[in-house]
Amino acid sequence: MKTEGLSINLATVRQQWKLPEAVAACAKLGIPYVDPWRDQVAAVGLDTAAKAIRDNGLKVSGYCRGGMFPAADAAGRQAAIDDNKRALDEAAALGAECLVLVVGGLPAGTRDIGAARQMVQDGLAAILPHARAVGVPLAIEPLHPMYAGDRACVNTLKQALDMAGQLGDDVGVAIDVYHVWWDPEIETQIARAGREKRILGYHICDWLVPTKDLLLDRGMPGDGVIDLPRFRKLIEAAGYQGPTEIEIFSAQDWWTRPGEEVLKTCIERYSATFA
């Protein structure tokens, strides 16, 4: 089975293990990369998390997550900026290749999505000097439009690339197929992302039909309707040579199974689809 280039987003086994156990299990199976979440790191402490990753010889493909910039007032927006700077410090301590950004939706009680997007742009600009100082690039992750209200008002790869282009170097995108597979412009925009050298992360899972829960019912690669081999060809044609990260939220299925079974299935599906 192929594991070279495979990363496991540790949300995939968040219900089975704490971070040190998950990292050790990945290393045991020859998985070279992980992407931890901030709450998983906080649960064991930053020093313990960094040591576990280092001692197991793993690399960190990304760190989830920063963002959530829009807020109803200036104090809330500044608090988000400060928290993102802390996230960047944590990412640097872990040796993460980027900080993945779920940018945030509309502030409570508002309807102006244009204003929310401007808050995102302003927040990114505010943390970019710190990102450069600690050596961690910013990866904007566009989310499916169903999340525009509460999680991310950046919903297409074009929007994310436009924002990155206004900010300059050290800002790119994390392309998650769950969120962008439907986009009729995806081929053009992945090619653009490659030309602009802005692809910082590539996340895969599958879209199940029917989907029972829009947040917590992602499928294992091969179980849904996303044309994953097509995406792989587009990503490779764009020049991306980084890890492929499997990220699955699955409250009623994969989170209920033994962690080793989940990881072995990830390896099998990665090998079958992308080798």
Are the C-beta atoms of residues 175 and 157 closer than 8 Å to each other? yes
CA-CA distance, 12 to 274, in Å (whole number)? 19
Would you state the pLDDT for residue 23?
98
Determine the structural domain holding residue 227 and report its residue range: 6-274
At 258, which CATH number? 3.20.20.150
Three-class SS state of 134: helix
- In this structure, the dihedral spanned by the alpha carbons of residues 157, 40, 49 and 3, taken in order and rounded to 10 degrees, is -50
Tokens of 112: 């102006």
Would you state the pLDDT for residue 273?
78
Judge whether 1 lies within some domain: no
Judge whether 134 lies within some domain: yes
Judge whether 71 lies within some domain: yes
11: which residues sit within 8 A by CB, 6+ positions away? Answer: 37, 64, 247, 248, 249
Judge whether 170 lies within some domain: yes
Q: For residue 219, list its beta bridge partners.
A: 206
Report cis status (omega within 30 of 0) of the bond before 65: yes
First to last CA, the chain: 9
Would you state the pLDDT for residue 275?
59
Q: What is the pLDDT along the chain (275 residues), one digit of tens a residue?
A: 899 999 999 999 999 999 999 999 999 999 999 999 999 999 999 999 999 999 999 999 999 999 999 999 999 999 999 999 999 999 999 999 999 999 999 999 999 999 999 999 999 999 999 999 999 999 999 999 999 999 999 999 999 999 999 999 999 999 999 999 999 999 999 999 999 999 999 999 999 999 999 999 999 999 999 999 999 999 999 999 999 999 999 999 999 999 999 999 999 999 987 65
Helix H or strand E segment including 113? helix 113-134
Judge whether 233 lies within some domain: yes
Judge whether 33 lies within some domain: yes
Counting the structural domains of the chain, the total is 1
